[in-house]
């Protein structure tokens, strides 16, 4: 074999080895992507979104919480924690509402801001005076008249939640926390707010939205 033929053969062998190595590397990446968890895409911050506290969030005011955003915009954001129920019954706060005497509704701790202030989430088929639409058929109100009217209705236990306090963020603060990985942003729905057991909500949404398996 001439030296030119030897060089040509050597180059062919090197090219074939490189091709096989690249093909093997691509197959390895594909196999890893099939079993490795991938971060689920974030929904955009907006009124009517859920903020699901990440597992790394250690702030005692928000650890393992789910927040429903009531307002989001240039002036900041405001929401209520939907999965922190208390042992305080509504009837002890509003003994004058007779309809509450036959119900076991309790107050929810809505957040660390103004805990002496009450607001209400109402599930309704159409808007009512004194309420503001949040998402789907969820409305928020701070009106005492609306609160008394809703709580006084028979059989409305599953459609009214009362919260003491709320969570608030200055302009840009929540965006920074989301970018830092403190929160997962997911679409909100009325069933999660009104029908799910509060103690199960955070785990369910973390399992559902924080990780997506291929």
pLDDT tens-place string over residues 25-47? 434 334 434 444 444 556 799 99
C-beta atoms surrounding 77 within 10 Å: 25
Model pLDDT, residue 48? 96
Weakest-pLDDT range from 70-79, 111-120, 144-153, 176-185: 144-153
Find the mean pLDDT for residues 177-193: 95
Instruction: Render the burial of 24-52: b for 16+ CB within 10 Å, e for the rest.
Output: eeeeeeeeeeeeeeeeeeeeebebbbbbb
pLDDT of residue 2: 57
Answer yes or no: are the C-beta atoms of 193 and 138 closer than 8 Å: yes
Instruction: Note whether 189 and 140 are within 8 A (CB).
Output: no
Q: How many CA atoms lie within 13 A of 193 on its CB side?
A: 33
Burial class (CB in 10 A: 0-12, 13-18, 19+), 89: middle
The tens digit of pLDDT for each residue in 42-84 reads 679 999 999 999 999 999 999 999 999 999 999 999 999 999 9
In this prediction, residue 207 has a pLDDT band, given cuts at 50, 70 and 90, of: confident
| Residue 113 in tokens | 């801001």
Can you give the pLDDT at residue 94? 87
Q: Decide: helix, strand or coil at residue 15.
A: helix
Does the model's pTM come out above 0.75?
A: yes
Question: For position 144, what pLDDT does the model report?
Answer: 87
Plot region of 155 (φ>0 → left; ψ -120 to 50 → alpha; else → beta): left
């Amino acid at each position: 074999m001439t030296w030119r033929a030897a060089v040509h053969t050597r180059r062919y062998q090197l090219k074939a080895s490189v091709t096989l190595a690249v093909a093997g590397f691509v197959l390895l990446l594909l196999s890893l992507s099939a079993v490795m968890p991938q971060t689920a895409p974030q929904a955009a911050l907006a009124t009517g979104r859920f903020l699901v506290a990440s597992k790394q969030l250690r702030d005692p005011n928000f650890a393992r919480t789910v927040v429903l955003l009531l307002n989001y915009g240039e002036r900041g954001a405001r929401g209520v924690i939907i999965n922190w129920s208390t042992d305080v019954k509504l009837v002890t706060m509003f003994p004058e509402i007779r309809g509450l005497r036959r119900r076991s509704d309790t107050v929810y701790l809505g957040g660390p801001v103004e805990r002496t202030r009450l607001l209400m989430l109402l599930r309704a088929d159409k808007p009512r005076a004194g309420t503001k639409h949040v998402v789907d058929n969820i409305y928020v109100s701070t009106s005492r008249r609306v609160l008394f009217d809703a709580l006084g209705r028979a059989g409305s236990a599953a459609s009214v939640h009362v919260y003491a306090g709320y969570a608030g963020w200055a302009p840009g603060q929540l965006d920074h926390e989301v970018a830092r990985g403190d929160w997962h942003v997911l679409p909100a729905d009325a069933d999660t707010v009104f029908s799910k057991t509060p103690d199960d909500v955070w785990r369910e949404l973390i399992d559902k939205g924080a990780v997506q398996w291929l």
